[in-house]
A = this chain, B = another copy of it.
């Protein structure tokens, strides 16, 4: 018994008041202690689940989801997290709504929130749009609550924007915390966030940005590698550099995959589109220039094809620490010979790390649930204690 004690003690040592009643947009807007509180709460929730103890803190209530891009993993993670806490998913399908005809964001945000305790949004397609849209929704909900329109303040969870993918990067970090036996063991470890070739194009920047923005927080040596021209947002690089300085880690860049892999403890090879191309695409979409989009797509695919050697091969892996770096991916990966002829990673490597990769993904529901829980209560220790003491069974057989 008293499974929750260790988590409660950890939380006692952290100052995370800033999470209460707040939204989750970017990891670098949170303090280290706040991030650690999220990891701790996520672990506590997973422990409760393993002990078949219900974490239902809502008797009823809605969790609104809005996906402006396809999603399987994040959609199911969000649904799982909300269900675990007792909220029912209500999807806002913009195609079936009246939003089209000129309704303001402020209005929509209020209209969907009368009984919403959480709003989760994925909006990652257009540079300069997604994060800004989420802020408009959150501001509107905050305003609605302040004005007495809403009886509760819905918590906004960024399920991937143009800048960050915090539920992904936080799940990723919780994974390596578990793999390396504690957050304190990450100090000095080398992680290579590298571009990798994929036959598709235009993959969001939010994963590499999220990784360099977060992993620089814990004293790690973060290397960002990509072919020339595949830069990420300059602002995020600046953030990563600042983070590294503060945490006594490091952040460096290279145009050589080999250099990034050399002696790395962790590798994260993944395709993305150049920031400048994504900006261009956003403008073309804005102008409705279909020909321009097609032309850009063609150019990007041609450019990509010049960098097919950027792949996570056995040879590349052999450069890493003892040849045994932890391979990570947000999934789905473009696996050579499986999902495409030439892709981000060799099938043998993917298979070797498959269980770990699936475990990595499995942290996301708990990360999301922890974000919600810490936004809703200022005293999670008391709450965890009560959940354990009441011990309502999740499955009653």
Contact = CB atoms under 8 A, between A and B. Distances in A.
B84 A98 contact: no
A144 interface: yes
A176 B315 CA distance: 65
A322 to B, nearest CB: 24
A54 interface: yes
A187 interface: no
Given A96-B71, A149-B362, A90 B76 contact: yes
Contacts of A377: 397
B358 A149 contact: yes
Given A70-B98, A71-B97, A377-B397, 9 more contacts: A57-B396, A57-B397, A72-B112, A101-B332, A102-B335, A104-B339, A107-B332, A115-B365, A386-B396
Nearest to A340: B102
A305 interface: no
Nearest to A358: B149
B80 A338 contact: no
Contacts of A97: 70-72, 75
A28 interface: no
A200 interface: yes
B98 A72 contact: yes
A334 B80 contact: no
B60 A114 contact: no
Nearest to A394: B59
Given A72-B92, A96-B67, A365-B115, A339 B394 contact: no
A29 interface: no
A358 B144 CA distance: 9
Interface residues of A, number: 79
A397 to B, nearest CB: 4
Given A102-B338, A395-B61, A365 B56 contact: no
A84 B72 contact: no
17 contacts: A56-B60, A70-B98, A72-B108, A76-B90, A79-B88, A83-B90, A88-B88, A101-B200, A101-B332, A102-B332, A102-B338, A103-B339, A107-B331, A111-B331, A147-B358, A148-B359, A383-B397
Contact of A59 (B56, B73, B104, B355): B56
A58 interface: yes
A58 B395 contact: yes
A71 B102 CA distance: 14
B77 A114 contact: yes
A142 interface: no
Contact of A60 (B54, B72, B338): B54
Contact of A80 (B62, B67, B99, B362): B62
A369 B22 CA distance: 30
A271 to B, nearest CB: 11
Interface string A386-397: 100000111111
Interface in A79-134: 79-80, 83-84, 86, 88-90, 92, 96-104, 107-108, 110-112, 114-115, 117
Given A76-B112, A112-B76, A117-B395, A103 B332 contact: yes
A49 interface: yes
